[in-house]
Amino acid sequence: MKNKFNSKIIRGAMRLFSFLFFPDKDVDETYAHAKAHNEKQSFKLPKSGKIEYEELKIYTENGTYHCLRMKKREQKPERAILYICGGGGVYDYCRHQLFLAKKLLNRVDCEVFYPFYPPSTKQPINETYRMIFETYKLMLKKYDHKKTAVLGVSFGATAAMTMISWNNYYSENIPMPAITIGLSPGHVPANSAEREMLEGYRGIDSLVSVDMVEAYGEIHKKGAGVDDWFIYTAHGDFRNAGKIFLYFGEKESLAFATPIYQQSLEKAEADYQIHIEPGMPHCYGATRINKACRRTYDEYVTLLNKL
């Protein structure tokens, strides 16, 4: 009963969070709101007495981007984690979600690579994915892939899965992380049947509504060279990956995509687990708020510490 009550509080808080930071508007209004927000964002190297920060530059053919490399002072970690934050690929909330990666450093002896990727109001979504893939390639210059993991939150989880697809579609042929952890990876309905599946979640999700899923998908389609697999991400090519762990909340819109991810993962003969937590909302496992959150958080922290 207590856990159920806590989940209602969490969903209520997320409804307020959505109202303040992710307004549920139509495509044009969402794009304009996100663009105005993103233009105000800037990169600044944090300062801390407990954490060492280093600014890395990530280069693609179309731009140069920031990535934070961070670890606890006096530590010499043997493992690295690519931590990809959320924002739907539309909003730049990299700076705002940095605290999640910092919290992880308290529980995992690792070095974190934290990409400040470009949102789709600034670059086509394929450039976003390219930047993240290039960040991982940079990690491999210092760490063996068996000592690497990727942890993605919301769109970050989508990007984590798309990184696997990228490696296969473009025949990059580099070893993927030993572990991929995705908290609520996204997917845009590719057909009427999938759209009907998503519609079944209308009114359930207090943060990412059914209409927002569709609107963000339309924004992702803007720009040149955006192939379908950048949009319909659950239909990706997930071969040649390490172990994959996906977590969804029962009370989130993106849970509609779980059977689609499962089908693609089965086709790829991937080593995977998909968990749907009863009564919980979008990205419930990003923090340790209640028993369900702690159970999932501690589960993937244990996985990371075993690398």
- DSSP label of 233: G
What pLDDT does residue 170 have? 97
CA atoms 76, 293, 272, 91: torsion sign:
negative
Instruction: Kindly give, in sequence order, each residue whose CB lies less than 8 Å from that of residue 115, ignoring residues fewer than 6 positions away.
Output: 58, 65, 66, 67, 82, 84, 94, 131, 132, 135
What pLDDT does residue 6 have? 55
Nearest to 287 by CA among 301, 275, 274, 273: 301
Task: Name residue 263's amino acid.
Answer: Q
Nearest to 34 by CA among 154, 118, 108: 118
Quote the number of domains for the chain.
1
Nearest to 147 by CA among 78, 241, 245: 78
Q: Give the range of the structural domain holding residue 91, as residue numbers without chain letter.
A: 2-305
Cβ–Cβ < 8 Å for 167, 240: yes
Q: Angle, to 10 degrees, between the axis of helix 291-305 and the axis of helix 2-21?
A: 80
Tell me, what CATH number does 188's domain have? Answer: 3.40.50.1820
Per-residue pLDDT of the chain (307 residues; tens, 9 = 90+): 455 545 555 544 444 344 345 678 899 999 999 999 999 999 999 988 899 999 999 999 999 999 999 999 988 999 999 999 999 999 999 999 999 999 999 999 999 999 999 999 999 999 999 999 999 999 999 999 999 999 999 999 999 999 999 999 999 999 999 999 999 999 999 999 999 999 999 999 988 999 999 999 999 998 767 899 999 999 999 999 999 999 999 999 999 999 999 999 999 999 999 999 999 999 999 999 999 999 999 999 999 999 9
Cβ–Cβ < 8 Å for 150, 180: yes
Nearest to 169 by CA among 125, 133, 217: 133
Tokens representing 152 are: 């993605």
pTM of the model: 0.93
* Integer angstrom CA distances of residue 30 from 27, 57, 186, 201, 289: 5, 29, 17, 21, 30
Nearest to 142 by CA among 54, 201, 211, 64: 54
